[in-house]
Amino acid sequence: MKLTTLTKHGHACVRLEKDGSTLVIDPGGLTEESAVEGADAVLITHEHFDHLEVKRLAALASGVQIWTCAAVAAQLEGLSVKVNVVGEGDAFTAAGFEIGVAGREHAKVWPEMPLVQNVGFLIDGEVFHPGDAFTVPGSPVGTLLTPTGGPWMKAAEMLDYLKAVNPTRAFSIHDGLYNEVGLSLVDGLLDRSAQAQGGDFRRLKPGESVVIGG
């Protein structure tokens, strides 16, 4: 993977920049509007408000393209930007990034609540954003954007997922529902688990960036 700047934005959104191109994932309702400024391509994992804000996507420049699952694409009909439908096993290029798709459904929230479509994205064979699911890609993951909180997960599932993927490094996402006390608790759990696996865990604050690859 070429040198890539990864910037954490609010809740589940990240921004990847490489060779002058910008890819944004899941700029939802808990994410600051600046996250999509200058985006060349946008990926949406699923339809929940904290990952998808239609109004914001409607304001994107006409040359921007969106890649997402069929359920989200149906909600984006009529937008001036091009919307591409992808599913598990697909591969495509967006804004100069090579992307593979893994996963089909959102993790279970409650047995009586229907599951929605959810696709995870593996970027340049290095960075994996699972959306709201515990999808384990079929290839090694260097950098896992690991969900850390929500009505669909328990702490034990969070730790089991980190262990199953076994990344070299992990950064926290889906953490916008925590206060500082909750974030500190989760940080401690994930840090100990990552160290036990020989990996590294960090929680980036909104707006904080790291450089990966090279």
Residue 148 tokens, joined: 């850390």
Per-run averaged pLDDT (10 residues), the chain, 214 residues: 95 98 98 96 98 97 97 96 98 99 97 95 98 97 96 95 96 93 90 92 95 88
If we measure between CA atoms, which residue out of 6, 8, 1, 2 comes closest to residue 31?
Answer: 8
Q: Which DSSP letter does residue 204 get? A: P
Q: What pTM did the predictor assign?
A: 0.96
CATH architecture observed for domain 4-212 = 4-Layer Sandwich (3.60)
Residue 47 is predicted with a pLDDT of 98
pLDDT for 213 equals 87
Summarised one tens digit per residue, pLDDT across range 137-174 is 999 999 999 999 999 999 999 999 999 999 999 999 99
- Starting at the edge strand that comes first in sequence, how are the strands of the sheet with 82-85 ordered? 82-85, 65-68, 41-44, 21-25, 14-18, 4-8, 209-212
